[in-house]
Amino acid sequence: MILRDMPSPGTAALHHTVRFVDACGHHLEYVDIPAHQLRRPPLVFLHEGLGSVAMWRDFPARVAAATGCRTVVYSRYGFGRSSRRIERYTPRFMHEEALRILPALRAELGIVSPVLIGHSTGASMALIHAGAEGSDVAGLVVMAPLVFVEEFNLDSIRAAQEVYRTTDMRQKLARYHDDVDGVFWGWNDIWLDPRFRSWSIADDLRGIRCPILAILGDDDEYSTPAQIDAIRRSAVSAAGLDFLKLADCRHSAHRDQPSTVIDAIGRFVDTLPA
């Protein structure tokens, strides 16, 4: 997430009722858009490292309209209007979300065999969740996924510190998060923590059985094709991997090329068993 990618407040609303659900002791905000076609898998959206329900803007609603699927979008613990985070982040924070909180959320909301649509950190969590033993995920759409740490990625995260301190980035983010400093510095600090240099989810990917659609912008400032290659090497049991590489596109493909991404998701969902 960089300053130019941030949605303006006037376009943030999903135009659906925001509700709250308790999962693992956390009060999480979410939006639940009903299905309008039968025999379609539910979709669950997992946001990026600085994201929230509102920061998706109308993208999930557009995907819901295009696919006919039930669509659930939620803000993770510490983000948006969800409960403020108390604990410090550890290198296992993505596993904690993917293996504890997301299963609890799915159980509370009755979400069976979903397609997980994740962006950046959310894409990593989707991959971890789908690779867990006994996971019943129908498909994965991973936009700008992160499988291991690259210096290229860390350079962009370091640069974000100066942007946050010297521009109106903090004020803009504060429109979407109750604890804006907790969101930004939690994300920034853990990625730059020396303990995080060896972070990798390659082993988690070996359990993935469902098909994968990977999407990456040519000019992404956080993820590179090496991350897609890592998925291809590790998710050897996945039921196929399609890679969509987009020109004139940076880290947030769903904002830079929304129509193209929505069409790709629609085609991908159409290939899944009813």
CATH numbers and ranges of domains, the chain: 3-270 (3.40.50.1820)
Taking residues 146-175, report their average pLDDT. Answer: 96
CA atoms within 13 A on the CB side of 253: 29
- 14 three-state secondary structure: coil
Question: Other CB atoms closer than 10 Å to residue 171's CB: what's the count?
Answer: 9
Strands of 115-232, DSSP E: 115-119, 139-143, 212-217
Q: What's residue 6's pLDDT?
A: 53
Q: In 3-state terms, what secondary structure has residue 18?
A: strand
SS3 state at 253:
helix
Read off the pLDDT band of 16 (50, 70, 90).
Answer: confident
In this structure, are residues 215 and 264 in contact, taking their beta carbons and an 8 Å threshold? yes
For residues 51 and 59, the answer to whether their CB atoms sit within 8 Å is no
Q: How confident is the model over 236-254, as a mean pLDDT?
A: 96
Closest CA to 6 of 66, 62, 64, 47: 47
Burial classification of residue 231, based on how many CB atoms lie within 10 Å of its CB (0-12 exposed, 13-18 middle, 19 or more buried): buried
Mean pLDDT of 235-246: 96
Mean pLDDT, residues 49-76 taken together = 98
When pLDDT is averaged across residues 155-172 and rounded to a whole number, the result is 96
Higher pLDDT pick, 4 / 88: 88
pLDDT of 7 reads: 53
The two tokens of residue 112 are 């069976």
Give yes or no for a contact between 68 and 37, defined as CB atoms under 8 angstroms apart: yes
Find where tokens 């939006």 sit: 31
Q: In what order do the strands lie in the sheet with 139-143?
A: 18-23, 26-33, 71-74, 43-46, 115-119, 139-143, 212-217, 241-246
209-235 pLDDT, tens digit per residue, is: 999 999 999 999 999 999 999 999 999
Q: What's the average model confidence in pLDDT over 54-80?
A: 98
**How is residue 76 written in tokens?**
């993770």
Q: How confident is the model at residue 11 (pLDDT cuts 50, 70, 90)?
A: very low
pTM, two decimals, is 0.94
- Mean pLDDT for 250-259 is 97
Residues of the chain with pLDDT > 90, as a percent, come to 93
